[in-house]
């Protein structure tokens, strides 16, 4: 098996699907000649031509809105939002339209589209090129939200997302793009949407995370192993729908839960996870459900010392693990 980066695994996934199914097209700013600002779609325009790899006008609402329309006319659009921070102008189209079309039409219409969005920070992107936006969309029935952390998961989940008959928001962590490498099999495969994955087994506590923070959590877990604490690390992979069973059964086993995300604490996905656990695994809990998240400031600042102060780090996560273990 070949070792490739997260970025390459996503490009491969798109490429292999486009080769198979002529209904698939890519629509976004600079996705053509430029191959996207991160080069995820590099080379696709040469392979599939300008009618299947289209540079969109600089207008996110119609990027989403047009893909919604196209999805209702027997095509399978993959919209690229250049930075997740710029998905907000499309909020109405995604929340009021894409997410509600099946329900409001009583199942008569549906919107099989994928919206790819690079998110997350730690790359000197400052307030508007670093945001974690998942919490907004994890609150929206009718949407699915996927956030893989490894090349293997990303490729398998991307293919599943393109085949999904409902709208899927596919989140790609910018810092993981080239940092995270992994083996990906030659043969065709899928990772089902809605299934979490235990990336490290342990009996002393459950850490629930995703994206870049999943990797930081694994680092911290490694550190605690040397201190004799066996941490189980659960990679959500899909943020909506949440894999309730995976979360609850792990916590019932370890009886302690630590939630880690890069998004702001208040109103973040961690709240929902804590609520699930505290309602449905209450009897098993042997310590307070703890969250390690970004502080409640509008977004990640540019200047290095501020960016570092903002980001949850393996060290901060390890400290929280120790505290919870000691409880």
Ligand X SMILES: Cc1ncc(C[n+]2csc(CCOP(=O)(O)OP(=O)(O)O)c2C)c(N)n1
Round to whole Å and give the CA distance between 72 and 167: 12
Q: How far apart are the first and last CA of the chain?
A: 43
- Our separate counts of H helices and E strands in the chain read 13, 14
Q: Contact with another protein (CB under 8 A): which of 55, 163, 219, 222? A: 55
**Is 89 an interacting residue with respect to ligand X (CB under 6 A)?**
yes
Which residues contact a copy of itself (rule: CB under 8 A)?
Answer: 61, 85, 88-89, 91-92, 95-96, 99-100, 103-104, 127-128, 135-136, 138-142, 240, 242, 264, 266-275, 277-280, 282, 285, 287-291, 296-299
**Is 297 an interacting residue with respect to another protein (CB under 8 A)?**
yes
Which one of ligand X, a copy of itself, another protein, none is in contact with 230 (Cβ closer than 5 to 8 A by kind)?
A: none
Round to whole Å and give the CA distance between 197 and 97: 31
Measured over the CA atoms of residue 148, residue 145, residue 209 and residue 307, the dihedral's sign is: positive
Which one of ligand X, another protein, a copy of itself, none is in contact with 144 (Cβ closer than 5 to 8 A by kind)?
A: another protein
Which one of a copy of itself, another protein, ligand X, none is in contact with 285 (Cβ closer than 5 to 8 A by kind)?
A: a copy of itself
Catalytic site residue from 88, 124, 129, 139: 129
Comparing CB distances to ligand X, the nearer of 61 and 313 is: 61
Comparing CB distances to a copy of itself, the nearer of 6 and 246 is: 246
Which one of a copy of itself, another protein, ligand X, none is in contact with 228 (Cβ closer than 5 to 8 A by kind)?
A: none
Q: Which range, of 4-12, 26-34, 169-177, 219-227, touches another protein by CB under 8 A? A: 26-34
Round to whole Å and give the CA distance between 134 and 121: 13
**Is 204 an interacting residue with respect to ligand X (CB under 6 A)?**
no
**Is 309 an interacting residue with respect to another protein (CB under 8 A)?**
yes
Strand segments, DSSP code E, in 89-210 are: 114-119, 144-146, 168-173, 181-184, 197-200, 205-209
Contacts of 155 (CB under 8 A, 6+ apart): 9, 10, 12, 13, 184, 189
**Is 86 an interacting residue with respect to ligand X (CB under 6 A)?**
yes
Contacts of 149 (CB under 8 A, 6+ apart): 173, 176, 180, 199, 210, 211, 212, 214, 215, 235, 237
Please give the C-alpha separations between residue 200 and each of 8, 95, 184, 312, in angstroms, as whole numbers.
24, 35, 19, 20
Q: Would you state the structure tokens that stand for residue 256, as one six-digit string?
A: 């302690």
Comparing CB distances to a copy of itself, the nearer of 287 and 314 is: 287
Measured over the CA atoms of residue 215, residue 220, residue 223 and residue 228, the dihedral's sign is: negative
- Going by C-alpha positions, the residue among 299, 326, 312 that lies closest to residue 124 is 299
Comparing CB distances to a copy of itself, the nearer of 318 and 320 is: 320
Comparing CB distances to ligand X, the nearer of 101 and 214 is: 101
Q: What is the nearest approach in angstroms of a copy of itself to the Cβ of residue 135?
A: 5
Contact 131, 299 (CB under 8 A): yes
Comparing CB distances to another protein, the nearer of 302 and 327 is: 302
Contacts with another protein, 142-181, as mask; x by CB under 8 A = x-x-------------------xxx---------------
129 is catalytic: yes
Q: Contact with ligand X (CB under 6 A): which of 9, 12, 41, 82? A: 82
Q: Would you state the structure tokens that stand for residue 228, as one six-digit string?
A: 């004799």
Which parts of this chain interact with ligand X (CB under 6 A)?
29, 58, 60, 82, 86, 89
- The residues carrying an active-site annotation are 129
């Amino acid at each position: 098996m070949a070792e490739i980066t997260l970025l390459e695994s996503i490009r491969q996934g798109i490429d292999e699907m486009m080769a198979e199914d002529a209904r698939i097209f890519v629509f976004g700013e600079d996705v053509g000649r430029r191959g996207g600002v991160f080069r995820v779609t590099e080379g696709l325009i040469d392979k599939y031509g300008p009618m299947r790899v289209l540079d969109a006008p600089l207008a996110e609402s119609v990027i989403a809105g047009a893909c919604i329309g196209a999805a209702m006319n027997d095509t399978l659009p993959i919209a690229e939002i250049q930075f997740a921070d710029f998905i907000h102008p499309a909020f109405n189209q995604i929340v009021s339209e894409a997410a509600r079309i099946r329900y409001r039409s009583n199942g008569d219409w549906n919107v099989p589209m994928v919206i790819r969005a690079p998110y997350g920070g730690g790359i000197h992107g400052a307030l508007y090129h670093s945001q974690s936006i998942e919490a907004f969309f994890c609150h929206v029935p009718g949407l699915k939200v996927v956030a893989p952390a490894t090349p293997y998961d990303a490729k398998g989940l991307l293919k599943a997302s393109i085949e999904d008959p409902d709208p899927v928001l596919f989140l790609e962590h910018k810092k993981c793009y080239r940092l995270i490498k992994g083996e990906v099999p030659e043969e065709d495969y899928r990772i089902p949407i809605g299934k979490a994955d235990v990336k490290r087994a342990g009996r002393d506590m459950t850490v629930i995370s995703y994206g870049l923070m999943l990797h930081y959590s694994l680092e911290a877990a490694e550190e605690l192993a040397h201190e004799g604490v066996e941490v189980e690390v659960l990679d959500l992979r899909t943020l909506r729908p949440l894999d309730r069973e995976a979360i609850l059964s792990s916590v019932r086993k370890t009886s302690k839960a630590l939630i880690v995300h890069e998004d702001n604490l208040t109103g973040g996905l961690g709240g929902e996870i804590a609520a699930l656990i505290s309602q449905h695994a209450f009897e098993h809990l042997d310590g307070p459900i703890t969250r390690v998240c970004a502080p409640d400031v509008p977004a990640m600042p540019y200047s290095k010392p501020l960016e570092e102060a903002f980001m949850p780090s393996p060290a901060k996560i390890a400290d929280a693990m120790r505290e919870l273990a000691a409880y």
